[in-house]
């Protein structure tokens, strides 16, 4: 099985879907001539031409609206946001148009569109460029929200997103583009709404997604050195949430730590914790623990930025609290 970077897996998914369906096109800032701000669209302009790989002005609201309109009349646009921080300028088109048009038109119009790009913190990009917005979009009926952690999942889920008949928010971890992993050749499609156990365990469950999957796996390695078997469950899709996988893992381990990059208040972990306590309260042997980003704008200072992020040490501490090994 070939080993690809996360960005090359996304590139492969885009190329395959552009080849498969003439209605698919890519639009966004620098996606064509520059091969994408993060080189995800490398080589696509040469292969598919400027009608299907479309550079735009710095006008997120404008080209998001063009994408929504084209999806309503039968095309399948993939709209690249240079970063999800910039998508705040397009949130009216995403939330008030794309998410609602099927409902408000009584099913007369669909909106098969993918909004994709990098999200979350990188390294010292400041508070306005370091935000994880998964919970914002997951709050909206009509949107599907995907946050893959591995190259294989990135490829398989992007292909599913492009084929879906609903608007999809596809959030790529900015620090994941250079990560490598095995990616199946040929037709590799990962179903939307299915979580994945990245590591089996029996003592507690670490629930995570996107960049925090690697954080949870490193924490599980450290816990393993103390004979603590942590299961790592990658949500992959934030909405729809794979409730069965979550409840199944907690029923096996009876303890849970939820790890996410975003802020704690009304975050993804809050929804997951509610789901567990409502559906599997009697399975819990300890309160659910959460590890999140700090509840502050992301600092620019390197040491403060590091302190504000979820990391393996914080996950290990939370796991030990869940196991009553630390207070």
Residues 244 and 178: their CA atoms lie apart, in Å, by: 32
Residues 79 and 68: their CA atoms lie apart, in Å, by: 9
Residues 69 and 140: their CA atoms lie apart, in Å, by: 20
C-alpha of 235 from chain center: 9
Q: Which helix (H) or strand (E) holds 320?
A: helix 312-322
Catalytic residue among 129, 134, 172, 174: 129
Q: Which helix (H) or strand (E) holds 249?
A: helix 243-253
Q: Please confirm, yes or no, whether 60 is among the known catalytic residues.
A: yes
Nearest alpha-carbon partner for 228 in 165, 322, 306, 121: 322
- The number of C-alpha atoms within 13 Å of 254 and in the hemisphere containing its C-beta is 7
Catalytic residue among 29, 60, 174, 261: 60
Nearest alpha-carbon partner for 193 in 161, 219, 224: 161
Taking each helix axis from N to C end, the angle separating 243-253 and 268-280, rounded to the nearest 10 degrees, works out to 60
Q: Please confirm, yes or no, whether 182 is among the known catalytic residues.
A: no
Under 8 Å between Cβ of 149 and 236: yes
**Catalytic sites, residue numbers:** 60, 129
């Amino acid at each position: 099985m070939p080993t690809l970077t996360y960005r090359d897996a996304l590139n492969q998914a885009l190329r395959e879907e552009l080849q498969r369906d003439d209605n698919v096109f890519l639009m966004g800032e620098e996606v064509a001539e520059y091969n994408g701000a993060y080189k995800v669209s490398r080589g696509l302009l040469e292969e598919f031409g400027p009608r299907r790989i479309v550079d735009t002005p710095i006008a997120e609201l404008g080209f998001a609206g063009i994408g929504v309109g084209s999806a309503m009349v039968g095309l399948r646009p993939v709209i690249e946001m240079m970063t999800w921080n910039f998508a705040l300028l397009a949130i009216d088109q995403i939330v008030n148009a794309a998410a609602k048009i099927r409902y408000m038109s009584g099913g007369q119009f669909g909106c098969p569109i993918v909004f994709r790009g990098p999200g979350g913190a990188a390294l010292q990009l400041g508070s306005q460029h370091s935000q994880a917005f998964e919970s914002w979009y997951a709050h909206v009926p009509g949107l599907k929200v995907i946050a893959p952690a591995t190259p294989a999942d990135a490829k398989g889920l992007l292909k599913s997103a492009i084929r879906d008949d609903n608007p999809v928010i596809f959030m790529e971890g900015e620090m994941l583009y250079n990560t490598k992993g095995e990616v199946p050749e040929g037709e590799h499609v990962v179903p939307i709404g299915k979580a994945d156990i990245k590591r089996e365990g029996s003592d507690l469950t670490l629930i995570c997604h996107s960049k925090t999957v690697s954080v949870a796996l490193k924490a599980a390695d450290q816990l393993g050195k103390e004979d603590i078997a942590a299961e790592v469950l990658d949500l992959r899709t934030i909405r729809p949430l794979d409730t069965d996988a979550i409840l199944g893992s907690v029923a096996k381990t009876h303890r849970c730590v939820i790890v996410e990059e975003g802020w704690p208040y009304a975050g993804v972990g809050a929804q997951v914790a509610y789901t567990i306590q409502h559906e599997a309260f009697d399975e819990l042997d300890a309160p659910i623990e959460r590890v999140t980003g700090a509840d502050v704008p992301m600092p620019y200072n390197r040491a403060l930025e590091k302190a504000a992020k979820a990391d393996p040490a914080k996950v290990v501490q939370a796991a030990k609290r869940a196991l009553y090994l630390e207070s």
